[in-house]
C-alpha cells in the first residue's frame, strides 16, 4: 500500500527516459569494459598486442659506414642516453660472437649435406618472444639455437630450389642436430647445436647468453667492443616518442615492429575515448536516475508528510522507495549485462571471426563486478538522497 | 499526559488583540484524561493550536510542554513514536489519501498500530453510516463522508490525547452526535482525553474543561 501511495505518478515519460538512459549508459560502460579486456587478452601468434613493446634498434648503414667513416656501434654514451629516456623502460644490447662460426648437418639426422658460415648473437632471456627451453651450461648436450622465421622461408623457397635441394620442414630442422664449427683466438672446436624455435621479431641467430659469454671468453678475438643492435622496451602508447628517437639517432627499426607500436597506440587511444565516453554516459544516466527519484519524492511530498503524521517511520518510507528503485535498477543492470553479453557473442565475436581474428574470451567476472558496483553506487546515492529528503519533509 | 502552554504566541497571531483569558496570553496546564472544548470564532488560531501541539508548526515564541518536556526539543523520531502511541489527530483538511479507497486508508493506519480488528473497524464504518462505502475511492466521497473516514482513522491507535480540529464541520447535527459518541467511547476505552475545537456548537457535549482563544 505504501508503494501504491508513494509511486502513484511514477509511470510517466520522465521515468521511461530515465530508465532508457540508465540502460544505455550501463550497457555502453559494460560493453566497452568487456571489449577493452578482450583486446588486452588478444594474442597474435606469440606476440601480445598489449604486452611489453620490445623492439630491436640499430643504426642505419649509410655510404659513410661502408667506407668506414661512420660506425653503427652504440657507444656507452648512446646507451646511457637511451636508458635516460622516460618512455624506455628497458635497454639491453645484443651480445655478438667474437669468433667465426660455421654450421653443417650431422650425418644421418635427415638433413641434406650443407655448410654455411654464420654468426651468433645473444639477448637477455626477458626479451625472448618465444617460449623455448633456453638453458645452457657446460654439461649441456647441445647448444639451443633460435632462428628467424624468415630464415627457413629463404632456405625452402629460395636457396633449396636454386640448389636443387630438398625443402626442409620446421619439424625436421628442429629434430636434426647441427655441427657447429667455432674458430677464434687461435683455437678451433666443434660442438653440437639444435634449432629449438623460430622468432618473428628478432632477425638474428640467437644462442643462450651464458653460452655466448662462455664461448667469447675462450675464443674471443677481442675485436668487438660496442654492440650495434640494442633491444629496448617502451611504454604503451609511445609511438610518437619512438618515431622521434628514430630520427634523432638515425635508427633503423623493423617496419612491422613500428607498425605494431603505431597500431597499439591508435587502438589504445580509440578505446580510451570510447571508455571515457561510456563513463560520461553512465554518470549522466545515474544523474538522470537520481533526478527521477527526486521527481518521485517531490510528487509524493504530501503523501510522505501525511505518512509521517500518521506515525510511519522515516526508515519504512525510505525502505519502500529503495526497494522499488532496487527492483527497477536491478532489472536495468540485468538487462544491461544480457545486452552486453549478446552484443559481444552475436555481433563482436562473429565480426572478429569473419575477419580472421580469434580472441581468447576474457573472463566476464570483472565486468560483472563493475555492474554490481554500479548497482551499489546507484542504490547508495539514491538512499542518501531519499533519506535526506524524507527527513527534510518530516521537519517541515 | 500533561500539556502545558507557557507564554506561547504564534508569529501570525502576535499583532492580534487577545482576551486576557486566551490561552495565547494566559497559558494553561492540563492533565489528561480530560475532555476539553476549545471554542473560538474563525481566525483566532484553532488550527494553529492543534498543529502546534501535534508538532507540525514551530513558528511560535514561548514553550509548549508535553509531560514536562519542551516539544521543540523532540526529534522527528520521537514525534513519530508519540503519534503512534500517545497522540492522535483529526485535521481540518482531513489528510486522507484520495487515490486509496476507504478501507485502504483505514488499514494503512491500523497495520501500523494493530489497534483494532477488521470487524471492529467495519462496525465503526456502519455506526457512522458509511458501511457501504468501504471500497469506494476516497476522492469520490463527499466531504462529510471523508470526515467520517478521518474520524475512524484517528481512533485506530492508542492515544492519551486526541486533537480534533473542527471534525464535524461537514456533518449534520445528528451525524455529529453519533460521531462524538463513538469518539467519547473510544477515548474512554483508551483511558485518554481529547481537545475538540469547534466554531460554536457544543454538539450536546459535556466537557470537563473549556479553553478560550
Percent of chain A with pLDDT over 70: 91
Residue A314 has pLDDT above 70, yes or no: yes
What is the ipTM, given to two decimal places? 0.92
Interface check for A391 against chain B (CB to CB < 8 A): the answer is yes
For the beta sheet containing B28-31, the strands, ordered from the edge strand earlier in sequence to the opposite edge, are B28-31, B2-10, B60-66, B69-70
Q: CA Rg, chain B, in Å?
A: 17
Residue A114 gets which letter from DSSP? Answer: -
**Which residues of chain B fall below pLDDT 50?**
none
pLDDT at A14: 77
Query: In sequence order, what E strands does A206-280 have?
Result: 229-234, 251-253
Residue A393 has pLDDT above 70, yes or no: yes
> Residue B76: is it exposed, middle or buried by C-beta count within 10 angstroms (0-12/13-18/19+)?
middle
Q: What is the rounded CA–CA span in Å between residue B47 and residue A147?
A: 98
Mean pLDDT to the nearest integer, A95-108? 89
Contact B140, B102 (CB under 8 A): no
Within a 13 Å sphere around the CA of A222, how many CA atoms are in the beta-carbon half? 2
Mean pLDDT to the nearest integer, A297-302? 86
pLDDT at A292: 74
Residue A92's H or E segment, with its range, is strand A88-93
Q: What is the DSSP string of A145-164?
A: EEEEHHHHHHIIIIIHHHHT
Percent of chain A with pLDDT over 90: 16
Least CB-CB distance to B97: which of A303, A391, A394?
A: A303
A358: confidence class by pLDDT, cuts 50, 70, 90: low
Do residue B112 and residue A1 have CB atoms under 8 angstroms apart? Answer: no
- Helix (H, G, I), strand (E, B), or coil: what is residue B118? helix
pLDDT at B5: 93
Least CB-CB distance to A312: which of B85, B91, B112?
A: B112
Phi, psi (deg, nearest 5) at residue A63: -60, -40
Chain A CA closest to residue B101? A1
Do residue A8 and residue B99 have CB atoms under 8 angstroms apart? Answer: yes
CA distance to partner chain A, nearest, from residue B207 (Å): 27
- Contacts with B, A 3-42, CB within 8 Å: 4-5, 8
Best of A1, A305, A311 to substitute, by most chain B Cβ atoms within 10 angstroms, is A311
> Residue A287: is it exposed, middle or buried by C-beta count within 10 angstroms (0-12/13-18/19+)?
middle
pLDDT at A50: 46
The two beta strands, A251-253 and B69-70, are: unpaired
pLDDT at A359: 65
Residue A45 has pLDDT above 60, yes or no: no
Q: Chains A and B: how many Cβ contacts under 8 Å?
A: 52
Distance of CA A258 to the CA centre of its chain: 15
CA distance to partner chain B, nearest, from residue A303 (Å): 7
Q: What is the rounded CA–CA span in Å between residue A145 and residue A128?
A: 12
Assign residue B19 a region (left: φ > 0; alpha: ψ between -120 and 50; beta: otherwise): beta
Q: What is the pLDDT of residues A196-219, one digit of tens each?
A: 988 877 888 999 989 998 999 889
- Helix (H, G, I), strand (E, B), or coil: what is residue A262? helix
Residue A238 has pLDDT above 60, yes or no: yes
Residue A46 has pLDDT above 50, yes or no: no
Mean pLDDT to the nearest integer, A171-178? 88
Interface check for A356 against chain B (CB to CB < 8 A): the answer is no
A78: confidence class by pLDDT, cuts 50, 70, 90: confident
Interface check for A1 against chain B (CB to CB < 8 A): the answer is yes
A49: confidence class by pLDDT, cuts 50, 70, 90: very low
Cβ-proximal residues to A41 (8 Å cutoff; 6+ apart), any chain = A359, A360, A361, A362
Say which range, A38-47, A337-346, B141-150, has the weakest mean pLDDT. Answer: A38-47
Q: Name chain B contacts of A8, Cβ cutoff 8 Å.
A: 99
Burial A48-79 (b: 16+ CB within 10 A, else e): ebeeebbbbbbbeeeeeeeeeeeebebeeebb
Q: What is the rounded CA–CA span in Å between residue A80 and residue A96?
A: 20
The two beta strands, B193-198 and B35-39, are: parallel
Contact A337, A291 (CB under 8 A): no
CA distance to partner chain B, nearest, from residue A378 (Å): 27
- Contacts with B, A 295-324, CB within 8 Å: 303, 306, 308-314
Interface check for B78 against chain A (CB to CB < 8 A): the answer is no
Chain B CA closest to residue A304? B97
Phi, psi (deg, nearest 5) at residue A58: -145, 160
pLDDT at B2: 94
pLDDT at A42: 58
Assign residue B87 a region (left: φ > 0; alpha: ψ between -120 and 50; beta: otherwise): beta
> Residue B2: is it exposed, middle or buried by C-beta count within 10 angstroms (0-12/13-18/19+)?
middle
Q: What is the rounded CA–CA span in Å between residue A250 and residue B92?
A: 92
Cis before A387? omega within 30:
no
Least CB-CB distance to A310: which of B77, B81, B112?
A: B112
Q: CA Rg, chain A, in Å?
A: 33
For the beta sheet containing A187-199, the strands, ordered from the edge strand earlier in sequence to the opposite edge, are A115-118, A100-105, A177-184, A187-199, A143-148
Mean pLDDT to the nearest integer, A240-244? 82
> Residue A200: is it exposed, middle or buried by C-beta count within 10 angstroms (0-12/13-18/19+)?
middle
Residue A253 has pLDDT above 80, yes or no: no
Query: In sequence order, what E strands does B46-98 have?
Result: 60-66, 69-70, 87-90
Q: What is the pLDDT of residues A125-163, one digit of tens each?
A: 877 777 778 888 888 889 999 988 888 888 888 888 888
Do residue B104 and residue A312 have CB atoms under 8 angstroms apart? Answer: no
Q: What is the pLDDT of residues A115-127, one digit of tens each?
A: 889 889 998 887 7
Q: What is the rounded CA–CA span in Å between residue A25 and residue A240?
A: 33
Assign residue A225 a region (left: φ > 0; alpha: ψ between -120 and 50; beta: otherwise): alpha
Mean pLDDT to the nearest integer, A67-84? 82
Amino acid at each position: 500500500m505504501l508503494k501504491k501511495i508513494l509511486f502513484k505518478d511514477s509511470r510517466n515519460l520522465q521515468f521511461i527516459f530515465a530508465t532508457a538512459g540508465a540502460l544505455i549508459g550501463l550497457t555502453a560502460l559494460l560493453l566497452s569494459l568487456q571489449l577493452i579486456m578482450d583486446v588486452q587478452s588478444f594474442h597474435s601468434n606469440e606476440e601480445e598486442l598489449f604486452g611489453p613493446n620490445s623492439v630491436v634498434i640499430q643504426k642505419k648503414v649509410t655510404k659513410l659506414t661502408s667506407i668506414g667513416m661512420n660506425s653503427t656501434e652504440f657507444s656507452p654514451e648512446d646507451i646511457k642516453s637511451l636508458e635516460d629516456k622516460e618512455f624506455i623502460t628497458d635497454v639491453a644490447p645484443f651480445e655478438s660472437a667474437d669468433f667465426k662460426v660455421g654450421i653443417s648437418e650431422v650425418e644421418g639426422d635427415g638433413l641434406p649435406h650443407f655448410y654455411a658460415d654464420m654468426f651468433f648473437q645473444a639477448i637477455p632471456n626477458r626479451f625472448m618472444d618465444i617460449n623455448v627451453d633456453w638453458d645452457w651450461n657446460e654439461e649441456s648436450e647441445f647448444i639451443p639455437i633460435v632462428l628467424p622465421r624468415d630464415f627457413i622461408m629463404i632456405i625452402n623457397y629460395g636457396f633449396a630450389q636454386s640448389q636443387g635441394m630438398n625443402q626442409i620442414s620446421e619439424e625436421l630442422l628442429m629434430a636434426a642436430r647441427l655441427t657447429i664449427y667455432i674458430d677464434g683466438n687461435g683455437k678451433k672446436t666443434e660442438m653440437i647445436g639444435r634449432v629449438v624455435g623460430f622468432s618473428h621479431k628478432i632477425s638474428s641467430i640467437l644462442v643462450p647468453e651464458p653460452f655466448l659469454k662462455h664461448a667469447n671468453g675462450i675464443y674471443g678475438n677481442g675485436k668487438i667492443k660496442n654492440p650495434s643492435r640494442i633491444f629496448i622496451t617502451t611504454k604503451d602508447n609511445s609511438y610518437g616518442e619512438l618515431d622521434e628517437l628514430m630520427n634523432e639517432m638515425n635508427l633503423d627499426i623493423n617496419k612491422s615492429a613500428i607498425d605494431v607500436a603505431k597500431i597499439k597506440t591508435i587502438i589504445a587511444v580509440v578505446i580510451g575515448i570510447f571508455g571515457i565516453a561510456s563513463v560520461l554516459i553512465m554518470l549522466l544516466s545515474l544523474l538522470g536516475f537520481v533526478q527521477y527519484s527526486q521527481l518521485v519524492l517531490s510528487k509524493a511530498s504530501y503523501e510522505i508528510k501525511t505518512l509521517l503524521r500518521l506515525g510511519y517511520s522515516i526508515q519504512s518510507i525510505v525502505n519502500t522507495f529503495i526497494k522499488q528503485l532496487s527492483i527497477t535498477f536491478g532489472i536495468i543492470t540485468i538487462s544491461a549485462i544480457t545486452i552486453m553479453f549478446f552484443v559481444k557473442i552475436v555481433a563482436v565475436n562473429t565480426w572478429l571471426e569473419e575477419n580472421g581474428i580469434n580472441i581468447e574470451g576474457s573472463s566476464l567476472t570483472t565486468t560483472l563486478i563493475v555492474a554490481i558496483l554500479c548497482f551499489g553506487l546507484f542504490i547508495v546515492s539514491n538512499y542518501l538522497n531519499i533519506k535526506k529528503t524524507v527527513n527534510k519533509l518530516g521537519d517541515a | 499526559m500533561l500539556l502545558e502552554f507557557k507564554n506561547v504566541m504564534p508569529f501570525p497571531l502576535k499583532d492580534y488583540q487577545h482576551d486576557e483569558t486566551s490561552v495565547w496570553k494566559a497559558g494553561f496546564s492540563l492533565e489528561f484524561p480530560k475532555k476539553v472544548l476549545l471554542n473560538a470564532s474563525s481566525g483566532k488560531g484553532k488550527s494553529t493550536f492543534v498543529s502546534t501541539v501535534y508538532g507540525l508548526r514551530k513558528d511560535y515564541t514561548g514553550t509548549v510542554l508535553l509531560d514536562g518536556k519542551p516539544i521543540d526539543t523532540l526529534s522527528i523520531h520521537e514525534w513519530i513514536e508519540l503519534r503512534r502511541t500517545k497522540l492522535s489527530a483529526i485535521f481540518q483538511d482531513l489528510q486522507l489519501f484520495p487515490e486509496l479507497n476507504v478501507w485502504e486508508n483505514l488499514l494503512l493506519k491500523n497495520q501500523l498500530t494493530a489497534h483494532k480488528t477488521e470487524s471492529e473497524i467495519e462496525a465503526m464504518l456502519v455506526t457512522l453510516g458509511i458501511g457501504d462505502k468501504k471500497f469506494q475511492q476516497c476522492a469520490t466521497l463527499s466531504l462529510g463522508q471523508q470526515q467520517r473516514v478521518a474520524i475512524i482513522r484517528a481512533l485506530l491507535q492508542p492515544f492519551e490525547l486526541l486533537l480534533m480540529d473542527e471534525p464535524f464541520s461537514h456533518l449534520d447535527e445528528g451525524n455529529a452526535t453519533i460521531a462524538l459518541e463513538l469518539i467519547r467511547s473510544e477515548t474512554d476505552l483508551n483511558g485518554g482525553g481529547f481537545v475538540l475545537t469547534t466554531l460554536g456548537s457544543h454538539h450536546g457535549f459535556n466537557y470537563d474543561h473549556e479553553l478560550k482563544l
